[in-house]
């Protein structure tokens, strides 16, 4: 039996890198004042239809949706923002919290064609900053991404920035009309699925994967040149804030994002180490989402970061080595020593020390080999002789020096060594 296509198992040693990354992501988030939110993996399908948008790639073709045994239409979450919005509205969170800062880490599911950096079960780290309409929040969120990338020593990741405007008449709607007019002039050259989008969602064509469509779209007017005055000054604010923090960026009018709920700021962090799947993190502002969900009017900005892609870049750099090592090995010299050794091992573990011990009656030579293998810095050797003298032999694995320590002082001694 095999795992499903596009779904991965994580075993040692790779899992240690994942755990390290996850705990670093939590630590950086906490430093920025973000708290964790956890929502169920399974949601009502309507959460995503409404939250992500009916005519997005995700909802049209990528969702794992099914009817449960009670006949309810449910979906395994393809992204994290719509569930968080659903949860906060349901808990009336916004009544007492005008500003909130959340992060999430967990598996997402999309029925896509698996390839490098693209899977059917993948993991996202995401940030949601809710309640602040000003550009300062956008900068805060991108500063957090910058800190995350620096935490892992990634310097070759580029920030691409755009503004996708707003819904006021002089902004996106006016541009949309202009774009539809221009697209109609090349309609016959477009593949069918692209033609169908002209009226429904013409901007999405900038995100189309077909090369022909991409080259045609290069000649089309871009939204960034047509956003309203308010959006322009918001965008200028974002840029000045990023410059102030020394975060490099480039303006890329083609960043439109694949989800319906974005307005104003849209951004992606791209890495050249990833090949075709170059976006490690994508995000932006979604001021209307909470309202669309039946909640109060709460502006918001956030991002989703793909952890498989982050891991690929970290591995490509080869700088971050995460090891799983023991601090202490307990070694028994004879049968009598085994029982006391297992007790000592347990006592030390209860004191918070990472201890390894053989459980299969190996001879002392093999036990020392094992101590080397698991990386212990010291070994504690016990036999009937040591037990009768109420002491243990402490051996430094590097210098091979050894000394006798009274059994009741062993925890102190180990703590003193700071292994």
Residues that bind ligand ATP (CB under 6 A): 79, 110, 112, 117-119, 122, 124, 258, 277, 279-282, 304, 306, 308-309
Considering the complex, what minimum distance in angstroms separates the CB of residue 304 from ligand ATP?
4
Is the CB of residue 17 less than 8 Å from the CB of residue 56?
A: no
Cα dihedral 207, 211, 215, 216 sign = negative
In this complex, which beta carbon is closest to ligand ATP, that of residue 304 or of residue 383?
Answer: 304
Considering the complex, what minimum distance in angstroms separates the CB of residue 62 from ligand ATP?
8
In this complex, which beta carbon is closest to ligand ATP, that of residue 43 or of residue 356?
Answer: 43
In this complex, which beta carbon is closest to ligand ATP, that of residue 149 or of residue 281?
Answer: 281
The b-or-e profile of 179-210 (16+ CB within 10 A means b, else e) is: beeebeebeeebeeebbebbeebbbbbbbbee
In this complex, which beta carbon is closest to ligand ATP, that of residue 15 or of residue 180?
Answer: 15
Terminal C-alpha separation, the chain: 43
Considering the complex, what minimum distance in angstroms separates the CB of residue 305 from ligand ATP?
6
Is the CB of residue 87 less than 8 Å from the CB of residue 132?
A: no
Considering the complex, what minimum distance in angstroms separates the CB of residue 258 from ligand ATP?
4
Q: Which residues are CB-neighbours of 340 under 8 A, at least 6 positions away?
A: 332, 382, 387
Considering the complex, what minimum distance in angstroms separates the CB of residue 58 from ligand ATP?
7
In this complex, which beta carbon is closest to ligand ATP, that of residue 281 or of residue 392?
Answer: 281
Q: Say if strands 73-76 and 250-251 run parallel, antiparallel, or are unpaired.
A: unpaired
The span from the CA of 287 to the CA of 373, in Å, is 54
Considering the complex, what minimum distance in angstroms separates the CB of residue 267 from ligand ATP?
10
In this complex, which beta carbon is closest to ligand ATP, that of residue 136 or of residue 277?
Answer: 277
**Residue nearest ligand ATP (C-beta atom):** 306
């Amino acid at each position: 039996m095999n795992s499903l296509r596009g779904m991965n198992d994580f075993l040692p040693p790779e899992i240690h890198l994942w755990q390290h990354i996850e705990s670093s992501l939590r630590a950086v988030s906490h430093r920025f004042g973000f708290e964790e939110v956890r929502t169920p993996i399974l949601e009502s399908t309507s959460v995503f239809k409404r939250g992500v948008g009916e005519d997005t790639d995700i909802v049209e073709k990528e969702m794992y949706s099914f009817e449960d045994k009670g006949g309810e239409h449910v979906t395994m979450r393809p992204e994290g923002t719509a569930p968080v919005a659903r949860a906060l509205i349901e808990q009336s969170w916004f009544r007492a919290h005008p500003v909130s800062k959340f992060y999430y880490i967990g598996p997402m599911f999309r029925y896509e064609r698996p390839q490098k950096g693209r899977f059917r079960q993948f993991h996202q780290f995401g940030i949601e900053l809710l309640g602040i309409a000003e550009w300062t929040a956008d900068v805060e969120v991108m500063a957090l991404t910058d800190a995350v990338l620096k935490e892992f020593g990634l310097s070759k990741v580029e920030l691409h920035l755009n503004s996708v405007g707003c819904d006021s008449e002089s902004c996106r709607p006016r541009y949309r009309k202009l774009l539809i007019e221009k697209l109609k002039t090349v309609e016959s050259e477009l593949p069918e699925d692209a033609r169908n989008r002209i009226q429904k969602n013409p901007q999405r064509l900038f995100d189309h994967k077909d090369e022909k469509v991409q080259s045609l779209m290069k000649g089309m007017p871009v939204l960034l040149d047509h956003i309203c005055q308010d959006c322009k000054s918001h965008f200028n604010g974002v840029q000045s804030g990023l410059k102030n923090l020394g975060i490099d960026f480039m303006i890329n009018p083609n960043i439109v994002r694949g989800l319906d709920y974005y307005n104003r700021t849209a951004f992606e962090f791209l890495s050249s180490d990833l090949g075709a799947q170059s976006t490690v993190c994508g995000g932006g502002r979604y001021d209307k989402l909470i309202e669309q969900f039946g909640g109060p009017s709460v502006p918001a900005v956030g991002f989703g970061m793909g952890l498989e892609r982050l891991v690929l870049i970290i591995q490509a750099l080869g700088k971050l080595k995460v090891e799983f090592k023991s601090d202490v090995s307990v070694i028994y010299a004879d049968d009598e020593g085994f029982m006391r050794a297992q007790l000592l091992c347990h006592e030390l573990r209860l004191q918070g020390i990472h201890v390894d011990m053989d459980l299969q009656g190996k001879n002392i030579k093999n036990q020392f080999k094992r101590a080397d293998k698991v990386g212990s810095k010291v070994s504690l050797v016990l036999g009937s002789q040591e037990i009768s003298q109420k002491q243990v032999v402490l051996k430094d694995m590097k210098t091979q020096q050894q000394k006798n320590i009274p059994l009741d002082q062993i925890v102190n001694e180990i703590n003193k060594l700071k292994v």
